[in-house]
Structure 1
Amino acid sequence: MKGTFSDNDQIELVSSFSELINTEFQGAMNTVCWERNLIGDFKEIVSKLQLEDNITEVSPEDLLSLQLSESGRMAREIILNDMQLLTDHGALPSLNLLKSYERDEELDFISTDVYSYHVDRSPIGTNTFLCTYHGAASDILPNDEAIQKILIPEIREKLKALHDGPENEFEDFLKEYFFDLHYQPKPNAQPINLGVGHLWKIAVDHPEQKVLPCVHRAPIENEGEYRLLLIC
């Protein structure tokens, strides 16, 4: 992590789930962090879960079936409580055991996978919530330290050649294939790592959004280590 959360205008720190839910984005602030120092053995949980694919969704029932030490049970209780809080709020939390995400290698001049800095988009007013319990954690970038890839001249020209259609349909083409959601860090950009154990709310691009959406990316996984990620 470069710097601290409290030093950054982009991040609002809170100390409860209620504050996380009720704090509204404003100005440059487009992320809210329920900063936590979690107690429990989350690595034990990861070691006892079965990875069925590169990404395996873990249900509450899967967690409850694990035979755990006292420290592992403490970690499980935290995860189950987070899932219940988000569910009660109306969200649909998904707990994922991750080896890796799928890579986008179709085009050599632009990447549109989750390892690329990007923003989330929704047709309705919503937020993205996420918490990394174990493994590498996601990064965010201040919006003024990132540029839309479609605005970089050499990338834009290659996308126009790929489109090979009427000029008035080009912007729709960029949205249809999600090219407009992806960003490139500017020189000397300072990513902020979201860390382990904190529950984050990040701004999404939607019609009622009053702030810029949060630019973020999935991390490169640590060698030989799975991630345990709650997201919705």
Structure 2
Amino acid sequence: MKWDFDHLNQIKNVSSFPELVDTKFSGKNNALCWQRLLDGDFEEIVDLLELKENITVVSEADLLNLNLSKQGLLAREIILNDIKLLKEFGALPTLNLLKCYERDDEFNYISTDVYSFHVDRSPIATDTFLCTYFGTSSDIIANEEVTQKIQIPEVREKLKALHDPEDGNFESFLEDNFFDLHYQPNADAKPINLENGYLWRLAVDHPEQQVLPCVHRTPDENGKLRLLLIC
């Protein structure tokens, strides 16, 4: 079953990879989705890969060395083709086998890990591409449904207490420590799950960006491995 995102101003559906990379963000649209109903057994690939640490980079050679069933071969072909398309576009895709990301437990009032709703920032014009083939998928949320954490009075006061004026101004301190990239969902917020198999392009905060960056997060893995393509 395909999900209908067309009623959401934030998300625009596309029907091909060329359309995914060529469509320009505009207005409130900062997420593009190429919906695919993928054949193949991606769980078989996950079961055969070796998790060497919490985040294991899987090479194309690693995939080709797997002894797969017919359904596993279909899944591998899809992954390799996605990698090929992204490389030909000029991106640098990475296939990750994930147990979990590192958690930020230093400050209980403002987490800066990827499990917190956040935006990506880059000094150059770029976008974030991602596809979850197996396991829990990421979430995005509309910009009007979140509040920048550094604008929450009690959080801001606690951060001011950490700041040493001799190290520079407060706003630079917030940027240097990535506090300004993280957001708190409003009470009535409705995050949108990105679903398995869909290839997404999310807007990033950079000097040439014409729209607000896409707010997103990594969900709790719930003890299940994830197979994620990202760049």
* TM superposition score normalised by structure 2: 0.97
Distance 1:64 1:164, change over 3 A: same
Once residues 29 and 108 of structure 2 are traced to their aligned partners in structure 1, the CA distance between those partners, rounded to angstroms, is 33
* TM superposition score normalised by structure 1: 0.97
Runs of 5+ in structure 1 lacking a partner? none
By how many angstroms is 1:168 displaced? 6.7
By how many angstroms is 1:44 displaced? 0.2
- Summarize the alignment of residues 31-180 of structure 1 with structure 2, pairs less than 5 Å apart: 31-165=31-165, 169-180=169-180
The farther-off stretch of 76-85 and 162-171 is 162-171
Distance 1:102 1:167, change over 3 A: closer
Once residues 7 and 220 of structure 2 are traced to their aligned partners in structure 1, the CA distance between those partners, rounded to angstroms, is 25
Query: What's the C-alpha RMSD, in Å, of the aligned pairs?
Result: 1.2
1:203 aligns with 2:203: yes
Tell me which residue corresponds to 1:231.
230
Once residues 13 and 177 of structure 2 are traced to their aligned partners in structure 1, the CA distance between those partners, rounded to angstroms, is 34
By how many angstroms is 1:109 displaced? 1.2
1:193 aligns with 2:197: no
The farther-off stretch of 90-99 and 5-14 is 5-14
Q: Contact conserved, 1:103 with 1:113, CA < 8 A, in 2?
A: yes
Q: What SS does the corresponding residue of 1:5 show, helix, strand or coil?
A: coil
Once residues 154 and 7 of structure 1 are traced to their aligned partners in structure 2, the CA distance between those partners, rounded to angstroms, is 36
Runs of 5+ in structure 2 lacking a partner? none
The count of residues paired between Structure 1 and Structure 2 equals 229
Q: Please tell me the residue identity of whatever aligns with 1:9.
A: N
Tell me which residue corresponds to 1:18.
18
User: 4+ residue stretches of structure 1 with deviation over 2 A?
Assistant: none
By how many angstroms is 1:6 displaced? 2.4
Once residues 167 and 27 of structure 1 are traced to their aligned partners in structure 2, the CA distance between those partners, rounded to angstroms, is 38
Q: Contact conserved, 1:105 with 1:111, CA < 8 A, in 2?
A: yes
By how many angstroms is 1:10 displaced? 0.5
Once residues 166 and 52 of structure 2 are traced to their aligned partners in structure 1, the CA distance between those partners, rounded to angstroms, is 44
Q: What SS does the corresponding residue of 2:165 show, helix, strand or coil?
A: coil
CA-to-aligned-CA distance 1:86-119 (integer Å, 9 cap, x gap): 0011100000000000000011211000000000
